[in-house]
Amino acid sequence: MNPVYTLTKGMLPVETIYCPGCTHGISHRIIMEVLEEVDMLGKTIGCGPIGCSVLAHRYMNVDMLECPHGRAPAVASAIKRVHPDNFVFTYQGDGDLASIGTAEIIHAAARGEKITTFFINNAIYGMTGGQMAPTTLIGQKSTTSQSGRTVEQAGAPMRICELIANLDGAVYVERVALNTAGNISKAKRAVRRAYDIQEKRLGFSLIEFVSSCPTHWGKSPVESMQHLKEKMLPYYPLGVYKEPEGGEV
Amino acid sequence: MSKKVLMKGNEAFAEAAIRGGCRYYFGYPITPQNEIPEYMSRELPKRDGYFIQAESELAAVYMAYGAGAAGGKVFITSSSPGIALMQEGFSFMCSAEVPTVALTVSRCGPGIGGIQPGQADYFQATRGGGNGDYKVPVFAPSNLQEGVDLVYESMDLTDKWRNPVFIFADGLLGQMMEPVVLPEQQKFVEPHEIRALKPWALTGYGDDDTKRNTIISLRIQPEDLEKHVEKIFKKYEQMEKELVRVETTGIEDADVVIVAFGTMARITKEAVEILAEQGIKTGLIRPISLWPFPYQAFDKITSKTKVVISAELSMGQMIQDVKLGVNGRFPVRLLSRTGGVVPASLEIAERTKKILEEMGG
């Protein structure tokens, strides 16, 4: 029999803490699959966040450390100085990257750090229990926007790809989604492209994964994918926001 | 013997760090330590090292965390309000057991305060403002040669203990010039040499994923965290035995003993001579390590002494440790100026005499 789906060496064979229907497992896996394919698992250093994926280092089979909330891009910038030939990435959620870590992500991008950021946007704080994030949609209910987020009270949700793409140091910025097999394939291609860009030392790259949080969205896994498609994607359009000139990488 | 060179304090500290093997420096401008990032930005790239001007002290301390975790030898510097921003990082590095040498060129607070020399960050340095149970060795030089030697030695101490090491200078030491003898240049460590020297560091595990390294601070099971805190406290107990540094003079038959560190100790040494000319025997205890504090030095004070004075450029912070050292055997008084006012030796001598008179001496 020809197996169509097997474990990747990049993911350790352990149970995760993620809820049913959470897309962290998918983004973990496609990043690690790419690193296995390019034979870089042993030459990678990962910088984890604070948030649900704080324990990513238990699942991803690469050297890895925990970073304080929002600081992963600063940590990764320095790691890349010490090990310029390693693949260095940050893996950050929306509270981590788009709220408490805005200074670090903007300046790492502005400096054109030769690192890669994987940004998980599920529009809510997961680990702390469903509070409003900078990316929470207008009208979306959270434990700190109980009648739904309003522009008057909290401003409009932040679009990170559009923001980062404005910086000259960012050479590749793409938003992908994890809701369908087709989108997951595109997401994996984006990860591979980000890898190639770091390998060629062209500059900073960021891949935003539009993701889900069934538990704090109060939806089933299936409803969550529906919500992602109908509510998230119109506000967070998929696509390439920045790419190297000529687009060959 | 190497020849003496005349250097400004901040530049001498920077050069000492490089010679101690520091290949990675991360800094953010703040007075009165700006010559350090300036020096590093000029010197490190041409000597095959790395400089990043961080976007904030918060970013700088976490760049240090990253480079330290990756096995690099790191130096970061700031001044009082900037160190306040870095405190979270020191707690994190103690928890994750990541080395870094940090230096403050302290100024005055609270708040923005002023840019003149101060010692009101004694608590900041020795008690820390980060969360949780942790400790950081703190060394306080009182002249530039001592500062150079302490920075140089700390580059190795931090690796030995896998814990940040802190140097407490002040604005006066940072800005003054003195002749110093610079130590030998240590060879920079290359990336491929790191795993062998620091098997715990993040380097990528190569072909053998059983050698995979992780550096963590989260320990969600109370028993695990308790065990880890107890483990790092075993190190702190050992540091308390190995890292105490103190200079004492004339304690045994002193009428009065003054305790002072850093700049204040420098000036107090002159005051001791002035008092001697007037027939007053003054002992000096100069803590060089502020943590671990040299409590044992106080055991040498004899019953001839009438009072112990804590002389500080603050409203009295070290005095708490002085009282612990004295342990009720003698009255303890504070001799203080603050806000950036640095007293002359004559003022210290006169105020010491007045305190002695009040004690009936």
* B215 and chain A in contact, CB less than 8 A: yes
Name the domain count of chain A: 1
Question: Is B72's CB within 8 Å of A63's CB?
Answer: no
Q: How far apart are CA B211 and CA B39, in angstroms?
A: 38
Percent of residues, chain A, with pLDDT higher than 70: 99
Distances (CA, A) of B211 to A10, B71, B300: 14, 15, 51
In a domain? residue A11: no
pLDDT in tens, B152-175: 999 999 999 999 999 999 999 999
In this prediction, residue B361 carries a pLDDT of 61
**Looking at residues A52-77, what average pLDDT do you find?**
98
* A115 and chain B in contact, CB less than 8 A: no
Chain B residues whose beta carbon lies within 8 Å of the beta carbon of residue A77? 52, 63, 66
* A84 and chain B in contact, CB less than 8 A: yes
Q: How far A35 CA sits from the closest chain B CA (Å)?
A: 12
Q: What is the pTM of this model?
A: 0.97
Chain A residues whose beta carbon lies within 8 Å of the beta carbon of residue B202? 45, 63-65, 79, 83
**Looking at residues A63-75, what average pLDDT do you find?**
98
In this prediction, residue B24 carries a pLDDT of 98
Q: Please determine, for residue A48, whether its predicted confidence score (pLDDT) is greater than 80.
A: yes
Q: What is the ipTM of this complex?
A: 0.97
Question: Is B205's CB within 8 Å of A71's CB?
Answer: no
In a domain? residue A15: no
Domains in chain B, start-ordered, CATH in brackets? 4-192 (3.40.50.970), 248-358 (3.40.50.920)
In a domain? residue A135: yes
Q: How far apart are CA B26 and CA B103, in angstroms?
A: 12
Q: What tokens were used for A135?
A: 């990316």
Query: Which of A63, A84, A104 lies nearest to residue B202, judging by beta carbons?
Result: A63
User: Which residues have C-beta within 8 Å of that of residue B32, sequence separation ≥ 6?
Assistant: B10, B79, B105, B107, B115, B117, B171, B174, B175
Q: What tokens were used for A58?
A: 């238990």
In a domain? residue A249: no
Query: Which of A54, A71, A83 lies nearest to residue B191, judging by beta carbons?
Result: A83
In this prediction, residue A51 carries a pLDDT of 96
Question: Which CATH number characterizes residue A220's domain?
Answer: 3.40.50.970
Q: How far apart are CA A204 and CA A198, in angstroms?
A: 7
In a domain? residue A229: yes
Q: Given pLDDT bands bounded at 50, 70 and 90, which one contains residue A1?
A: confident
Beta bridge partners of A119: A92, A208
pLDDT in tens, A209-247: 999 999 999 999 999 999 999 999 999 999 999 999 877
Chain B residues whose beta carbon lies within 8 Å of the beta carbon of residue A9? 209
Contact between B267 and B344 under an 8 Å Cβ cutoff? The reply is: yes
User: Which residue in chain A has the smallest CA separation from B60?
Assistant: A74
In this prediction, residue B360 carries a pLDDT of 82
In this prediction, residue B155 carries a pLDDT of 98
Across chain A, mean pLDDT equals: 97
pLDDT along chain B (361 residues), means of 10: 90 98 98 98 98 98 98 98 97 98 97 96 95 98 98 98 97 97 98 97 96 97 98 98 98 97 98 98 98 98 97 98 98 98 98 95 61
A contact test, residue of B200, B205, B219 with most A CBs within 10 A? B205
Percent of residues, chain B, with pLDDT higher than 90: 98
In a domain? residue A12: no
In a domain? residue A97: yes
Chain A residues whose beta carbon lies within 8 Å of the beta carbon of residue B88? 68
Could you list the residue range(s) of the whole structural domain that residue A37 is in?
Answer: 24-242
Interface contacts (A, B; CB < 8 Å) = 129
* A57 and chain B in contact, CB less than 8 A: yes
Half-sphere exposure in the Cβ direction for B283 (13 Å, CA): 24
pLDDT in tens, A145-185: 999 999 999 999 999 999 999 999 999 999 999 999 999 99
Contact between A99 and A134 under an 8 Å Cβ cutoff? The reply is: yes
In a domain? residue A9: no
User: Which residues have C-beta within 8 Å of that of residue B201, sequence separation ≥ 6?
Assistant: B69, B70, B71, B194, B195, B213
* B140 and chain A in contact, CB less than 8 A: no
